[in-house]
Amino acid sequence: MAIRCVASRRTLAGLKETSSRLIGFRGIQTFTLPDLPYDYGALEPAISGEIMQIHHQKHHQTYVTNYNNALEQLDQAVSKGDASAVVKLQSAIKFNGAGHVNHSIFWKNLAPVKEGGGEPPKGSLGSAIDTHFGSLEGLVKKMSAEGAAVQGSGWVWLGLDKELKKLVVDTTANQDPLVTKGGSLVPLVGIDVWEHAYYLQYKNVRPEYLKNVWKVINWKYASEIYEKECN
Amino acid sequence: MYCKKIMIVQTIRRTATCTTQLNYQKAEPSIKLKTHTDSTGVCSPHLSLQLELQSQSMAASTAVTANYVLKPPPYALDALEPHMSKQTLEFHWGKHHRAYVDNLKKQVLGTELEGKPLDHIINKTYNNGDLLPAFNNAAQAWNHEFFWESMKPNGGGKPSGELLALLERDFTSYEKFYEEFNAAAATQFGAGWAWLAYANDKLKVVKTPNAVNPLVLGSFPLLTIDVWEHAYYLDFQNRRPDYIKTFMNNLVSWEAVSARLEAAKTASSSSA
């Protein structure tokens, strides 16, 4: 298709997105593992450095690698007009693409204590939480309970329903993004409850992980997203 | 009458290392037992009869306490080292499996499921895929007991005899079966299990999510590997492929698989 843009030096230089790159003539964007905005050990004792390193360098990297592979295969299948190959690739794209997206959000949802991790949200998000959940404690209790109840692997989310203009707590299975629970849902805080997110430190005691993770939740980031989406 | 029926089950049990033989019948909750009654009116067992469980009393008398009990693996918790660590067994059996059993007991208390055999609860709460609350605990209790008995110290490698012949028949070679089982275990996304199962006189590899097992899909489980992260994380972290390889090469109990296959063939040929 002639309309596909060829990556030129100028185009590449103009790229602002640091976690993606163009390959080939077709301009298919593939992805790279985003850096963590803090050291692996910076979230201790809530989340161990060992977990952060494996979680980032192994699990998230694997999602990125597999997502890129799936995208390249998809590109070939699309250009060959191979409809069944395209359809067959969807689950790999969903698993790995969503895994990449979810984890990219997750690293921003966390912050070391000395950089504001655990500090309660102020401003409009703080008020919205009080309105919808009675208090931050109320929200934390609800999210922790729902996160603990996820069977198998998944995530627990605080989201904003853009349409109804209200905050929502929900869970998703595996790497399903929050938007699969509602088209107008925007994730504000996601907590990974796959066992790999806590097992080396908390073993089978997921509730203990959920109790401690709040000490490093980055409410500043959540507030930024909330304010941006509300305007 | 009832003690004879119990004898039938015990006979099957004694021929197998796995105590979950009771589950080798069609995935239907209500089933009848047939026996042979001789001229003196004595009801006696013979193995060719349909192995079906009376829904309540007999099953209850033999199965309930067994099924609601955290049965230890048929080996010491350190016996699978270095392939599966004692620490893993301590947590996986001692905490995870224990919790499924304890929570199931609490969950069925005071409900119509209370006292029912485990496989009955599994089928009922599977509810054709629209899972009811007790399914997770019930199926996971079953799955884990089946998993411990799928392994043994110095296990793994290639089976022999009839089992090998059947693997070669249905997968063309042991290596092809290994490849397929490995792929199923490696690509089950998120939590779940990979299985060797038997249905319609054929062996097949199946992968299932979370707590689902082949019982609810109408086939007889023969072998399983747990691919929930808790099964391998302490020993292998993210390296699930290494865990699967270690399981296949060093842990599989082909004796258990053979015994289960025999029971499955008996159950399915007589329930036709």
Residue B94 has pLDDT above 60, yes or no: yes
Note whether A151 contacts B91, CB cutoff 8 Å. no
Hey, of A203, A205, A206, which one would you mutate to test binding to chain B, going by the most B CBs within 10 A of its CB? A203
Return per-residue pLDDT of chain A as tens, 231 residues: 444 444 444 444 444 344 566 555 566 889 999 999 999 999 999 999 999 999 999 999 999 999 999 999 999 999 999 999 999 999 999 999 999 999 999 999 999 999 999 999 999 999 999 999 999 999 999 999 999 999 999 999 999 999 999 999 999 999 999 999 999 999 999 999 999 999 999 999 999 999 999 999 999 999 999 999 987
B216-261: pLDDT as tens digits? 999 999 999 999 999 999 999 999 999 999 999 999 999 999 999 9
d(CA A199, CA B224): 22
Note whether A174 contacts B190, CB cutoff 8 Å. yes
One-character DSSP codes across B47-109 = TTS----BTTHHHHHHHHHHHTS-PPPSS-TTTTTTTS-HHHHHHIIIIIIHHHHHHHHHHHT
Please count the residues of chain A.
Answer: 231
Looking at the partner chain, which of B96, B210, B238 has a beta carbon nearest the beta carbon of A152? B210
d(CA B117, CA B30): 11
How close is the nearest chain B Cα to the Cα of A151, in Å?
Answer: 7
Closest CA relative to residue B118, chosen from B145, B98, B93: B145
Per-residue confidence (pLDDT) for residue B19, from 0 to 100: 37
Residue B33 has pLDDT above 60, yes or no: no
Looking at the partner chain, which of B95, B189, B233 has a beta carbon nearest the beta carbon of A195? B233
Please count the residues of chain B.
Answer: 272
Hey, of A54, A95, A199, which one would you mutate to test binding to chain B, going by the most B CBs within 10 A of its CB? A199
Judge whether A84 is closer than 8 Å to chain B, CB to CB: no
* Percent of chain B scoring above 90 in pLDDT: 72
Instruction: Quote the distance between the C-alpha of residue B142 and its chain's center.
Output: 6
How close is the nearest chain A Cα to the Cα of B229, in Å?
Answer: 6
- Structure token pair of residue B228: 């929930």
pLDDT averaged over every residue in chain B: 82
Phi, psi of B86 (to 5 degrees): -60, -40
